[in-house]
Amino acid sequence: MSSAFRKVAIIGLGLIGGSLAAALRARGLADSIVAGGRSARTLERGLALGLIDAGYQDLAKAVDGADLVFVAVPVSAMADTFAAMAPGLAPGVVITDGGSVKGAVIDAARAQLGAHRSRFVPGHPIAGKEKSGVDAADAALYERHRVILTPTPETDPAATLVVRQMWTRVGAEVLTMRPDEHDRVLAETSHLPHLLAFSLVDTLARQGDSTEIFRYAAGGFRDFTRIASSDPVMWHDIFTENRDAVLAATDLFAAGLARFRDAVAAGDSDALLGVMTRANSARARFLAMNARTSYTHIYAEQAMNTDSQRTGSENAANPVFVVQPGAQLSGQARVPGDKSISHRSIMLGALAEGVTEVEGFLEGEDALATLQTFRDLGVVIEGPHAGRVRIHGVGLQGLQAPSRSLYMGNSGTSMRLLMGLLAGQPFDCELTGDASLSQRPMERVARPLRDMGAAVSTTDSGGKGTPPVRIRGGKALKGIDYDLPVASAQVKSAILLAGLYAEGETRVTEPAPTRDHTERMLAGFGYAVQRDGASVTLSGGGTLRACHLDVPADISSAAFFLVAASIAPGSELLLPHVGINPTRTGVIDILRLMGADITVENERDAGGEPVADLRVRSAPLKGIVIPEHLVPLAIDEFPVLFVAAACADGETILHGAEELRVKESDRIQVMADGLLALGVDAEVYPDGIRIRGAGQGNAAFTGGEIQSHGDHRIAMSFAMAALRASGEIRIHDCANVATSFPGFAELAARAGLQLVVA
Ligand code: NAP
């Protein structure tokens, strides 16, 4: 195979140039590699290290006959270097560079490279070390690092392609940007932090007692100032050659620093917490973006860094649950907060007067998207930390215009509810989501909002009316009397939230009961809501009062433990503070029909929601025909109910549950596949399943391997099956468990399940 290049000339054989020579050599990408440089010693070192085949102090000689030239001298030396090598450049040669500033290098190339300038591709590898010189050269320096190319309109696209391929082949990821954009972004993200680090260390070192200061300096000082060890000459050049962008970034920072200083001086806690909580979440977002991971992982990691106890489970890329057979469950298990209620706690807390304290908040991806959105709308929110959030409410009229689009991730609840809430604001905004949310229909929310006088537009995408959703502010809304065409808690909630801003009464009537968390929580925040049969009515212009909210534990998550303690002989488990909203309790009704021993203790109200402690003791279960009217009230709990059915005496039959086929997976088929793999007698129907149970006293499952297809509820259900298995069960693809049930593995293990995460 022939090499990519006949001859590559590296001009400036230091860290950056030497590393490219080493990387090309290691991959056999050039027949010959030569260097040009000012000092004979460096060139000799390059030869001795085996990086180059020849070295020249005459740069025109060095580039003679080369098909690729890479210039890696300090930015201030670029112009002289280009001038010195220009006479030796062959026709058609591609020239690129590694300078950290692009505008100045492009000017130098225009002035010195003559006709070759269209074959000059400006570039900047975002890779480096604090060490410099040829001895620091490293063949792996560019692997999995970014290289920014900044071609100008006069750059030949064929030359850009050659350079792009070269960097890709040494393991880098290539991006392109406009040169001025590059210089601005780098000034803000790299040059400014270096300036601050140099300045901080120098400022403190000038103090009379600097030795004392440094002696007691803690780890934070070392971390913050690490980059003050970088090469002064190179950084001198960068600050000089990127002067304007560095000054603009420094001014921006100085203004922010002055605001921070003022807040400290004035003891303005809201402003201080605002800066720091926004910085926390912006950094989490930045880390998530860089790691191409989710907020959930970042917050879980942050929590683990500060909590001594770590779950260790949901952080591996694709964890496998390994569960040993048998065991009893005992003690208490507080399962995470309800997702629907977590969303609404942030929304209403933000719109309330005063500080709302939330406990039991579900730190899942979707609720975190809502939390981030309200930060973008100017609300100060502390946390989440171990389920605790403090929301500094701004009142119904206190939201501020966001400085960019509001990003809802994958959360349909966030987008639909916020459409209603934002329809009545004085400012414009745009709501966007990830690829999957961008396919979901939003018109059924937009239409009634328009009837109220809102200016809401969706994106057509084939008539589906999808995100991005754009809302023009400053519209006077008026109340409506709306009959929901289809039962939907999200549409109902969006209209009610818009109704808070509307003149007069807003009434929504639903064709069938849906989750009523919004109405209940509005009442919990002291807002007058009238409920009359299938209708809910409220009037605009009221006030929400901050409150303390202990988010009820999610009954869908509690369901795994209700089944687990029922099927594992000798178990008794208490599940505290579980939401028992009557629109959600089908799982308790079905389990009781099967003979489960579940008692509902200590019923009470939490922010408008009924909650109770559920005590469950193991009991012999019997197979039943599941009443169809209970199906919608337990739709998310069927995977684990199938596990209960496999342990029961006799057959359990389910019909009328076709919706299960369009959840995160085809839950009928995927559960049936798993049950069959574990030796259970099951038969699939288009709208349900028949399962023959093993009966009390018998192992209901063999051991085996389960594919969860990334469906969190399938994974958790089969983990519980091990309680009645005869061998080890291994469940694959469990990463998504963190989305609905952070800390599941740890909680289940504490209750007695013999589960480890591999
Ligand atoms: P380096 O290790 O110090 O190497 C610099 C090279 O340039 C050496 O070969 C040096 O020659 C030569 N040189 C220095 N001053 C010169 C002058 N006045 N005239 C001609 N040649 C001169 O520096 P580096 O880190 O490789 O940086 C090279 C370029 O890459 C710079 O433009 C820098 O902005 C850019 N860059 C650096 C990093 C980083 O983190 N280090 C990252 C990305 C981009 P001698 O060997 O004879 O001294």
Q: What is the pLDDT of residue 663?
A: 75
309 band by pLDDT with thresholds 50, 70 and 90? very low
24 with 80, same domain: the answer is yes
Lowest mean pLDDT among 51-60, 66-75, 215-224, 742-751: 215-224
Q: What is the pLDDT of residue 662?
A: 73
* CATH code for the domain of 72: 3.40.50.720
pLDDT of residue 291 exceeding 60, the answer is no
Atom 7, ligand 1: which residue's CA is nearest?
73
What percentage of the chain reaches a pLDDT higher than 70?
Answer: 96
Nearest CA to 388 out of 361, 412, 414, 365 is that of: 361
In ligand 1, which atom is closest to the CA atom of 12?
9
Those residues with Cβ within 8 angstroms of residue 302's Cβ, 6 or more apart along the chain or in another chain = 284
pLDDT of residue 286 exceeding 80, the answer is no
Q: How far is the CA of 95 from the centre of ligand 1 (A)?
A: 17
Tokens found for residue 244: 């304007």
Q: How far is the CA of 74 from the centre of ligand 1 (A)?
A: 5
317 band by pLDDT with thresholds 50, 70 and 90? low
414 with 558, same domain: the answer is no
532 with 557, same domain: the answer is no
pLDDT of residue 439 exceeding 90, the answer is no
Lowest mean pLDDT among 217-231, 285-299, 418-432: 285-299
* Rounded CA separation 669/580 (Å): 29
For residue range 364-398, list pLDDT tens digits in order.
888 988 999 999 999 999 888 888 999 999 999 99
Q: Which of 15, 71, 150, 237 to mutate for ligand 1's pocket (most ligand atoms within 8 Å of CB)?
A: 15
- Domain-located, residue 508: yes
582 with 541, same domain: the answer is no
585 with 708, same domain: the answer is yes
Q: How far is the CA of 17 from the centre of ligand 1 (A)?
A: 8
416 with 465, same domain: the answer is yes
What is the dihedral sign for C-alpha 731, 733, 739, 740?
negative
Q: How many CB atoms lie within 10 A of CB 750?
A: 13
595 with 654, same domain: the answer is yes
Tokens found for residue 514: 């849906």
353 with 499, same domain: the answer is yes
Torsion angle, CA of 298/300/305/307, rounded to 10 degrees? 160
237 is catalytic: no
**What is the pLDDT averaged over residues 465-489?**
94
Helix/strand/coil for 478: strand
Atom 41, ligand 1: which residue's CA is nearest?
128
Atom 17, ligand 1: which residue's CA is nearest?
77
For residue range 724-744, list pLDDT tens digits in order.
999 999 999 998 887 778 889
pLDDT of residue 295 exceeding 50, the answer is no
- Domain-located, residue 230: no
Q: How far is the CA of 375 from the centre of ligand 1 (A)?
A: 43
362 band by pLDDT with thresholds 50, 70 and 90? very high
532 with 664, same domain: the answer is no
* Rounded CA separation 461/447 (Å): 16
Atom 18, ligand 1: which residue's CA is nearest?
77
- Domain-located, residue 687: yes
Atom 13, ligand 1: which residue's CA is nearest?
73
In ligand 1, which atom is closest to the CA atom of 16?
26
- Domain-located, residue 693: yes
Lowest mean pLDDT among 99-103, 159-163, 283-287: 283-287
* Rounded CA separation 747/738 (Å): 13
Q: How far is the CA of 267 from the centre of ligand 1 (A)?
A: 47
* Rounded CA separation 735/503 (Å): 47
381 with 505, same domain: the answer is yes
- Domain-located, residue 697: yes
288 band by pLDDT with thresholds 50, 70 and 90? low
In ligand 1, which atom is closest to the CA atom of 132?
2
For residue range 699-720, list pLDDT tens digits in order.
999 999 999 998 899 999 999 9
Q: What is the pLDDT of residue 384?
A: 87
Tokens found for residue 137: 């050269």
The secondary structure of 314-368 as a DSSP string is: TTSSS--EEE-S----EEE--PPBPHHHHHHHHHHHHHSEEEEEEES----HHHH
566 with 530, same domain: the answer is no
Q: How far is the CA of 72 from the centre of ligand 1 (A)?
A: 6
Q: What is the pLDDT of residue 284?
A: 76
Q: How far is the CA of 16 from the centre of ligand 1 (A)?
A: 7
- Domain-located, residue 712: yes
End-of-domain residue from the set 152, 177, 202? 177
Q: How far is the CA of 73 from the centre of ligand 1 (A)?
A: 4
pLDDT of residue 72 exceeding 90, the answer is yes
65 with 108, same domain: the answer is yes
**What is the pLDDT averaged over residues 619-623?**
98
Q: What is the pTM of this model?
A: 0.66
Q: What is the pLDDT of residue 632?
A: 84
- Domain-located, residue 201: no
pLDDT of residue 481 exceeding 50, the answer is yes
Structural domains of the chain, count = 3
End-of-domain residue from the set 177, 204, 235? 177
Q: What is the pLDDT of residue 742?
A: 84
Q: Tell me which residues have their CB closer than 6 angstroms to ligand 1.
A: 12-17, 37-39, 42, 72-75, 77, 81, 98-100, 124-125, 128, 132-133, 231, 234
* Rounded CA separation 25/395 (Å): 64
301 band by pLDDT with thresholds 50, 70 and 90? very low
Tokens found for residue 639: 């995977």
pLDDT of residue 511 exceeding 70, the answer is yes
Q: Which strand ranges, in their side-by-side order, compose the sheet holding 321-323? A: 704-707, 729-732, 321-323, 755-757
For residue range 130-148, list pLDDT tens digits in order.
788 999 999 999 998 999 9
* CATH code for the domain of 447: 3.65.10.10
Q: Is 460 exposed, middle or buried (0-12, 13-18, 19+ CB in 10 A)?
A: exposed
Mean pLDDT rounded to a whole number for the chain: 91
Domain that holds residue 708: 323-328+553-757
End-of-domain residue from the set 550, 565, 580? 550
- Domain-located, residue 307: no
pLDDT of residue 473 exceeding 80, the answer is yes
For residue range 542-573, list pLDDT tens digits in order.
999 999 999 999 999 999 999 999 999 999 99
**What is the pLDDT averaged over residues 588-608?**
96
Nearest CA to 517 out of 579, 603, 427, 442 is that of: 579
Catalytic residue among 636, 666, 711, 733: 636
